[in-house]
Amino acid sequence: MPALGQGTSEPPSAAVDNRAAVRIQDPERLLPQKSLATYTPAILRFSFTKKDDEPDKSFLDLTLIPPEGEVVGRRVSVGVGEFASLLRRFYQQLARQESLNIANPASPARRLHALLIAPLQQDLEALGISTLLISVDAGLQAVPFAALHDGTGFFGSRYAFSITPSIALTPLDVVQADPGGTQLSLGVSEFDGLAPLPLVPQEMERAGDLSTVERHTEEAFTPDTLLTRAVDPSIKRVHLATHAEFLPGGPDKARLMTGQGPMSLREFAALRQREGADLLDLVVLSACRTALGDQDSELGFAGLALQAGARSAMGSLWYVDDVATSALMIQFYRLLDSGLPKGEALQATRLAMADGTIRLEGDQLIGIDGVPLLTNLNTLQRRRVGRGFQHPFFWGGIALLGTPW
């Protein structure tokens, strides 16, 4: 049996059935108005299979499905307990902003990359893949793919990508290069019993400032406003800057905080589910941990957004500093409005944070184009981000779900 992180020489036959492979349809229609590189999308599928005779052993099947040509499969042997331990330690390093010890091949960031990406790295490079739609089983939905590292660079800087819990939830054959329409932005900065979000007003003003935006803030952000306006066919994006809570019990117990109190995410999940309704192009919930819920909530808010009829959704895998989150969101929308696909806009934003392009100057955070993202930061806010955003704690947890184009 191969060691942890080592693929077998023979791919699993079930994973490479070319006839059964779900492919991106007509990939030439995905070509964006603007791109960072030659645009070549593919599907990357992961599935866990536990061994019946050895409960702590499992196989991880990796399947790369290009738009055309042969499907590529690899199988990796992995200890269930060891994988969970690696992921748990990786989260600790990220949450505490500890050194990831990238020089050590045994570090969690390197080991997880060796398991999940390295077996197909040569194939990705040979095919010139630039953008990945990553389909994952439940046991892998919490992996912070953007922060995985091969010793030379982060996965999230090298590839544009999105995650999907189900290919069935992902509209591969319906693409709008420019969705047009209006962005619905709703935000709350003050709460009863929850920490304030003082940068929400700036985020509301600047996230999507190059497009047509309809804004509802504080008390004007009501459950009814969200539910009635988001189903309007003219609305193509929904941006929510607020808190959400995920409690055991699924969507009925999960709550989104509005300016007039909480609303059940079950209500949100019913958006645009009626037959024939237009899909929202993007739904974003910033400022809290929203990409993951409990087991009943599947992929939390972001998963519900896909069920509600969105091509793509963005949320966070962990609680992120609100200064970093607001800056990331504003920069992401500027790149999106410049014509980049969603996955590339997020990729470029991550890279700009990691390499210091997005930086603190005085009391302002400066963006890629030299234009301020945030202004009038107070002493505490400046202190929190004064050392920069190089650590993936600041950008590695923002997850794009659904389609990356």
Please write the tens of the pLDDT for every residue from 125-145.
Answer: 999 999 999 999 877 888 999
Q: What is the pTM of this model?
A: 0.89
- The order of strands in the sheet holding 312-316 is 72-79, 54-65, 41-51, 131-135, 160-164, 398-402, 312-316, 282-286, 235-241, 182-187, 213-217
Long-range CB pairs of 263-268, under 8 A, 24+ apart, other chains included: 263/223, 263/226, 265/297, 265/301, 265/304, 267/223, 267/227, 268/226, 268/227, 268/301, 268/304, 268/305, 268/308
Helix axes 108-116, 118-126, angle to 10 degrees: 60
Tell me the per-residue pLDDT of 47-82, one tens digit each, with 9 for 90 and over: 888 777 777 778 899 999 998 889 999 999 988 888
Question: In sequence order, what are the residues at sequence separation of 6 or more whose Cβ sits closer than 8 angstroms to the Cβ of residue 273?
Answer: 307, 308, 309
- CATH of the domain spanning 182-338+356-389, picked from 3.40.390, 1.10.10, 3.40.1130, 3.40.50: 3.40.50
Backbone angles phi, psi at 63, to 5 degrees: -130, 120
Tell me the per-residue pLDDT of 275-301, one tens digit each, with 9 for 90 and over: 456 788 999 988 665 555 444 444 566
Q: Which amino acid is at 369?
A: D
CA pair distance 80, 33, nearest whole angstrom: 43
Provide the pLDDT for residue 13.
41
Contact 161, 402 (CB under 8 A): no
